[in-house]
Every structure is written in structure tokens, then in C-alpha cells.
Amino acid sequence: KWTGNTIDYVPMNGAICVSANYGNGGNLYTKKEYSDFIFRFEFCFMKEGVNNGVGIRTPRNVDAAYEGMEIQVLHHDAPIYKNLREYQVHGSVYGIVPAKRIVHKPLGEWSTMEIRVVGDNVTVTVNGEVITEADVRKACQGHNVAPEGETKNPYTVDKKNHPGLFNKKGHIGFLGHGAGLKYRNVRV
């Protein structure tokens, strides 16, 4: 049921261990495309500072943060992230909607995460707490790309263009940005 980088996502003891690196080659995608869905999984950070993401409604082999949407999976409690931008914290719709910053469980402990996508509405819940709830179209005032082809977009939080933000359907993907993360009980 998966395609893309099937080498750096290793099934082990009932979990998927991530060792994929940043870039399009580090992503694992569902073979099927989805429009409205609920994506549930458990995750476990094995080391400080792990940075990954979940691509939603994304084409394959592109930068999902811009050609689709990326929901951050980030151990933002690590000291290296003391100056992290608000739209980069765990559970954020990257560059578009900041999440409520939570304190993660200790390294090695499992947490639950749910990403619910209905139309333009995205809700992210971690360990039973809603940390992101937004209409992405309203968040950027309907301007996922800058007017008149400009490169700096005044309507997005990160000031970048997100041409895939309003995709109606696409793949769900794990976006590997480095080792030290496990997933289990993954279901759509």
C-alpha cells in the first residue's frame, strides 16, 4: 500500500522505523490518493531534534510543503529549536497555520496523532488535544500564491508561495528529514 522510499522506512517489531533523509527521495507515499480523510497514527521520537512531516493531498516526488500540504512532525522541545518560527512547530500546517505548541512526551514514549482533512479544513489532534484547527483558504485569504507571479507572498505566514495548498486530492506521505522516529498503528 506504499510507494516511494521503501528502503529507509523499516518495519521492525510492529513499527515503522524512519531513517530517511531530507528531500523528495526520503518520502514514503500511499499508493492511493485521498481527498477528505482522517489519518491516525502513533509516533515516538527516539532522539532529540527529530524533524519529519506528513504530506497531505500531495503529488509524489515534489516538496509536499509547497506542492501539497505538510503537517509538521517535529521534536520542537530540543534546544536546537529554541528560535523556531511559530509555523514550524509540531502539528503546524507548514508555512500556513501555526499549531498550539505542546510539550512532547519523553523520548521513547508513544504519542497519538490524528490529521482530519475536510475540504479546506484541517484539524490536528495530539494525545487527545486539538492543536491545529483551521480553514487553510481563509488562513491565506485565498492567496496560496502571490498576486501577479511575485515570489514573496504577503498572504502566507512564511511569505512563500504554496501552489498545492488547495489541491482537492493527493497522496498521504511520510516526509523523512532524518532518522530517530518511529510510527505504528497507521490507518486512514
Interatomic CA distance for residues 64 and 173, integer angstroms: 9
**pLDDT per residue as tens digits for the range 102-143:** 999 999 999 999 999 999 999 999 999 999 999 999 999 999
Determine the pLDDT at residue 177: 83
- pLDDT tens digit sequence for 15-73: 999 987 765 568 999 999 999 999 999 999 999 999 999 999 999 999 999 999 999 99
Output the pLDDT for position 23. 59
Q: What's this model's pTM, rounded to 2 decimal places? A: 0.95
